[in-house]
């Protein structure tokens, strides 16, 4: 099983609803590749959050660890600014409402620790967007305890502790307008989950998408 850590974004209802953002795109891509996937994230306690959960279910993504936040609205990708990729929409920071990330639901270390204790038998963990150091530390420890492969998206400009040597590290693309980054990461996670060695799994897709891990 694959666990994807990151907050999904809802696509605007007048665009038909659905999923947006890198974490949801990663989870959906892994599910399309045949993997069992659970998304650890947080959405608002609102209609957009309800629609988001239905969209995850339609995409084959488990959401038993998707927490609800009554104090913050589910982020929504504006219909006029979306770019639909494989049934999910990619998002830029400017096109998401609320625009201020402080006004959106946010994961904290306790949320993630509880979710990873609830989920079991995962072989691959993907931190699909940069997280606070406390959250990353919880995921790193849990993946190590489970013997799971960790795929980690980081923002190298933010500073902080270096990623663990055992992780497969990617630099955040910021916006992912064509969904290529999310698709690559989801397909890579699914291949690793099937037991394909990491180097071989990456070679399967790097030529097609033209992406390489940070540091290579």
Long-range contacts made by residues 89-92, C-beta under 8 angstroms, separation at least 24? Answer: 89/9, 89/11, 89/15, 89/18, 89/19, 89/20, 90/20, 90/21, 90/25, 90/175, 90/176, 90/177, 90/178, 90/179, 90/182, 91/9, 91/20, 91/21, 91/175, 91/176, 92/174, 92/175, 92/177
Domain boundaries, the chain: 2-209
Compute the average pLDDT of residues 41-55. 94
Task: Please state, rounded to an integer, the average pLDDT across all residues of the chain.
Answer: 87
Q: Could you read off the pLDDT of 128-163 as tens digits, one per residue? A: 999 999 999 999 999 999 999 999 999 988 877 888
8 A C-beta contact, residue 83 and residue 22? no
- CATH match of 2-209 with 3.40.1190.20: yes
* Token pair in block for residue 17: 């609803």
């Amino acid at each position: 099983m694959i666990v994807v850590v990151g907050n999904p974004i809802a696509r605007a209802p007048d665009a038909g609803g659905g999923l947006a953002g890198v974490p949801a795109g990663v989870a959906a891509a892994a599910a399309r590749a045949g993997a069992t996937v659970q998304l650890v994230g947080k959405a608002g306690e609102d209609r957009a959050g309800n629609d988001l959960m239905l969209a995850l279910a339609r995409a084959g993504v488990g959401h038993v660890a998707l927490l609800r936040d009554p104090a913050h609205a589910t982020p929504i990708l504006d219909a006029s600014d979306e770019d639909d990729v494989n049934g999910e929409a990619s998002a830029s920071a400017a096109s998401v409402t609320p625009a201020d990330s402080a006004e959106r639901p946010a994961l904290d270390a306790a949320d993630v620790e509880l979710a990873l204790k609830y989920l079991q038998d995962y072989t691959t963990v993907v931190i699909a967007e940069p997280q606070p150091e406390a959250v990353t530390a919880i995921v790193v420890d849990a993946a190590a305890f489970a013997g799971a492969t960790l795929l980690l998206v980081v923002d190298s400009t933010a500073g902080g502790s270096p990623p663990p040597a055992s992780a497969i590290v990617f630099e955040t693309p910021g916006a992912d307008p064509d969904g290529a980054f999310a698709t690559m990461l989801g397909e890579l996670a699914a291949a690793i989950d099937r037991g394909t060695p990491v180097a071989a799994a990456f070679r399967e897709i790097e030529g097609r998408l033209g992406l390489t891990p940070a540091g290579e």
